[in-house]
Amino acid sequence: MSTNEQDYKVKVDIVKYRWIWIGISLLLTLPGVIGIGMCYAKFGTPLKPGIDFTGGSILQYQFEKPVELEPIHEVLEECHLPGSQVQKAYISGKEAVVLRTKALDDENLKKQLDKALEAKLGPFRQLSIDKVTATIGPELLMNGLIALFSTLAVMIAYISYRYKFDFAMCAICALLHDVIVLCGFYAILGLVIGVEVDSLFLSAVLTVIGFSVHDTIVVFDRIRENAKYVGSKTKDPVTGEEYKKTFGDVTNDSVNQTLARSIYTSLTVVFTLTALYLWGGVTTKDFVLAMLVGIISGTYSSIFNASCLLVLWREVKLKKQMGKPAVART
């Protein structure tokens, strides 16, 4: 069906049930906000920071025999290294163990750890040991925050220039929704199972922002194209009554015209990320999970939040101008 067709039949009534979509968003963000607050109270930061931000050591071991992670955790506790992360990885086709601990500045502590691991799990080969100093962590965090806020500022300026200021603000609200959902999800994981965030997480947040705003712009561009039909006459497909289209009606039409495209595009990315999460490397697992959560949230906010917020904005503006809102009939 042509996108310019006046009597476009709405398949999904987005605007009519906008308070339901906004309510769902509140249900998604509220636990995350609480989790972020609890993380701040417990760790002094909104999310549980990894060694990229706090400083520490990353050690890779390759044992002669397959090992379980639980005995390694026990060894770390005995060596006074609680809270360390242990993961399995495959390097050159062979199983390896990756340990993330606090900074091992004391050489005796490192020797004690190696001796305890060999006594409990057998001979091993140390593949690498990397240190992240505490001075690098704050620099990474600051650079990440600068990149995040710079991105938001440029987006507001560009969308305001290409569209209008209300389009920009609604797009940013949708982006903030995605960031809060993603950060809240990881805050809860940090409290429950000790998942830490690193510099890759900041990369995932910025990538999610880019994907989400792209999806939102597709919807907004169709709304801008169809805005010329506001006030045009059309007939109700059910009652046959003739009426003039409101901005809400046009928004409904526009969202439905782009709905299939948005869902299909997002599904291709979700399928790819799911495969990477299930069968990809251990070192990128947290990054892929962050992308997966963010893109699902971004697709939802682009379709159900950004458009509904734009209609609410225009209704409030029209109410101030004319003394009454122009709601969608559909």
Q: Domain map of the chain by residue range?
A: 18-44+137-322, 56-131
The neighbour count for residue 238, using CB atoms within 10 Å, is 7
Which H or E run includes 233? Answer: strand 233-235
What pLDDT sits at residue 33?
Answer: 94
Domain 56-131 has CATH 3.40.50.720: no
**45, 190 contact by CB (below 8 A):** no
Cα separation of 158 and 153, whole Å?
A: 9
3-state secondary structure of 134: coil
Per-10-residue mean pLDDT, the chain, length 330: 44 85 92 92 84 79 86 86 78 81 80 88 85 63 74 82 86 90 92 84 85 87 88 75 84 89 90 89 81 93 91 84 56
| 3-class secondary structure, 56 | strand
CA 251 to chain centroid, in Å, comes to: 26
Question: What is the pTM (predicted TM-score) of this model?
Answer: 0.78
Integer CA distances (angstroms), 326 to 201, 233, 292, 293, in order: 42, 15, 37, 35
What is the token pair recorded at 230?
């506001």
* 77: alpha, beta or left? (left if phi > 0; alpha if psi -120 to 50): alpha
Q: What is the pLDDT of residue 3?
A: 43
Strand 85-91 to strand 233-235: parallel, antiparallel, or no bridges (unpaired)? unpaired
Other CB atoms within 10 Å distance of the CB of residue 222: 21
Q: CA 95, CA 88: separation in Å to the nearest integer?
A: 7
The helix/strand/coil state of 85 is strand
Q: One-letter amino acid identity for 95? A: E
- Alpha carbon 104 to its chain centroid, in Å, reads 33
Return the pLDDT at 182.
93
pLDDT at residue 136, rounded to an integer: 55
| CATH number, domain 18-44+137-322, options 1.20.58.110, 3.40.1180.10, 3.30.70.3270, 1.20.1640.10 | 1.20.1640.10
* Token pair belonging to 293: 């959560």
| Distance (Å) of CA 205 to CA 33, 294, 314 | 16, 8, 30
160: tokens are 């305001």
